[in-house]
A and B are shown apart, each in its own frame.
Chain A
Amino acid sequence: MKEVDVVIVGAGPAGCTTARKVAQAGFSVLIVDKRQELGAPIQCSGAVSRHALIENDVVPDVEFIHQPIYGFRIMNGLGDVTNIDYRELKPETYSEGPNGEPLGYIVDRRRFDRYLYTQAERAGAEGWLKAEALGYEKSGGEVLISIRQFNRLQQVRAKVIVGADGLRSQVGKWAGLQTHIKLTELASCLQVIVDGVETEGLLELITGSQTAPGGYGWVFPKGGGYAEVGLGIIAPYTAMTAQEHLDEFLKNSFLSHRFKHAKILEVQGGGVPLAAPLKQQFADNIILVGDAARHVNPITGGGIHTALSGGTVAAKFLNSHLRQNRNHAAETMERYHDEWLEAVGNQMWKLYKVKREIFKNGNVGQRDELLYDTMRNYFSPDSEFKKV
């Protein structure tokens, strides 16, 4: 039977970051993913800040970058527009020139995830694709994880399981953690990749219930003349589906003139939690990281930065935990949750409270106004929330 220190279930940004950093510390890591192509199907716009990559030791690489981003444009569909273009606000740092740098990127999730997986393997982690973790049993303070790779069923012994298996996390459910998300806190998202829509190196966000009840719409540059146009809605706030709202946005909104020549090249979608992080992200022999632990920004729905940071925190915890040869009982694993709260979690809880206050307001007009103001503040250079 194969024996490792850590089994990581899910090879997305959170799982791969954890794997890379634990392997770099010299511990044995097996990372498994049921998919045959990492990053697919794409369920995300791929926006990530440059500092999120740098602070988590991911070198921005042309292998996965679709498009550099220099700022934001927030619109509410009622004529209000806020431009937050860092090329104008901080030209000494952010510019398209040879000495400047972008604020962030739109990454190709297939290539980005594969790149992170490669880095994890190069650091010494072993990776298995087409490998589905089916469950686990406890065994003398450790765990035996059942994994079916292709058609071969086998057990792997490990000290710790890291559940990095995304929003649909089964690891959290195995552990009996409270992972259920309310319908009012899961955005139903749909986006199309289009040709023929002009963009300016800005992430354009459209708030307002006429566009996306409970969420927001977006137009993101995708590089090579392509763009992503999409939206996320909260189902109980509307009788229409995300698909119907997107259709309306493309054909009959205040931005329709820009989509007149759009040719749809891809359709992508996903559930994005605009929710609080899980209140408990650990159990005996288990920790959760990334979407599986709801490490997602509850205002923007952005999850790449929080996944990378969560992976870094998880790895730091595991390296110290394994080095000190501690037991793997829940009380011991709780330290991971505390460290995560200190590093990013407390900020996320603050953001969640801001978001909850907005949506407590029963007046749709006021709610729209609050969301627009919150988005403007969030992306401004003076925002206190830049870390997530």
Chain B
Amino acid sequence: MKKPVIFEIGWNACINCAACIAVCPQDAGFVSDFDTIAVKEPCDIACMMCEDICPVNTISHVVVEDRKDD
């Protein structure tokens, strides 16, 4: 089973194309204030399709568990 992750977006490179939302299998509302996938709440699906589709490779993630360990 995949571990929940929190996505991080390099805003400087983000071109606001919304491809990450389009491919995201989460329910409605899993979006940020800047029209990307959510960055404040954990993603428990962790399919990483948003990272794969990003044309400018500006989405990354940290595993929630690891973040708690910090």
Residues of chain A whose beta carbon lies under 8 Å from any beta carbon of chain B: 41, 43, 135, 166-168, 170, 173-174, 180-181, 183, 186, 188-190, 235-236, 241-243, 267-271, 273
**Given A235-B53, A242-B56: A270 touches B17 (CB 8 Å cut-off):** yes
A269 touches which one: B19, B29, B49, B52 (CB < 8 A)? Answer: B19
Cβ of A273 and Cβ of B22 under 8 Å apart?
yes
Looking at chain B's contact residues, the main secondary structure is loop
Q: Is B28 engaged at the interface, CB distance under 8 Å to the other chain?
A: yes
Question: What residues of B have a CB within 8 angstroms of the CB of A186 in the complex?
Answer: 19, 22-23, 53
Give 9 CB contacts A-B under 8 Å. A41-B15, A174-B28, A181-B22, A183-B49, A183-B53, A188-B53, A189-B55, A271-B17, A271-B53
Question: What residues of B have a CB within 8 angstroms of the CB of A271 in the complex?
Answer: 17-20, 22-23, 53
**Given A168-B35, A173-B28: A183 touches B52 (CB 8 Å cut-off):** yes
Residues of chain B whose beta carbon lies under 8 Å from any beta carbon of chain A: 15-23, 25, 27-29, 31, 35, 49, 52-57
Cβ of B56 and Cβ of A243 under 8 Å apart?
yes
Q: Closest approach, in angstroms, between the C-beta of A2 and any C-beta of chain B? A: 23
Residue of B at shortest CB range from A232?
B55
Residue of A at shortest CB range from B19?
A271
**Given A41-B16, A243-B57, A268-B15: A168 touches B52 (CB 8 Å cut-off):** no
Cβ of B16 and Cβ of A242 under 8 Å apart?
no
Looking at chain A's contact residues, the main secondary structure is mixed
Cβ of B18 and Cβ of A166 under 8 Å apart?
yes
Cβ of A167 and Cβ of B55 under 8 Å apart?
no
Question: What residues of B have a CB within 8 angstroms of the CB of A242 in the complex?
Answer: 55-56
Residue of B at shortest CB range from A231?
B55
A271→B22 CA distance, assembly (Å): 7
A356→B21 CA distance, assembly (Å): 24
A135→B35 CA distance, assembly (Å): 16
Q: Closest approach, in angstroms, between the C-beta of B52 and any C-beta of chain A? A: 5
Residue of B15, B19, B28 with most chain A CB atoms under a 10 A cut-off: B19
Cβ of B54 and Cβ of A188 under 8 Å apart?
yes
A170→B29 CA distance, assembly (Å): 7
Residue of A at shortest CB range from B35?
A168
The 5 closest A-B pairs by CB, nearest first: A271-B19, A173-B28, A242-B55, A168-B21, A269-B17
A267 touches which one: B15, B20, B25, B49 (CB < 8 A)? Answer: B15
Q: Closest approach, in angstroms, between the C-beta of B43 and any C-beta of chain A? A: 14
Cβ of B56 and Cβ of A181 under 8 Å apart?
no
Question: What residues of B have a CB within 8 angstroms of the CB of A167 in the complex?
Answer: 18-19, 21-22
Residue of A at shortest CB range from B30?
A173
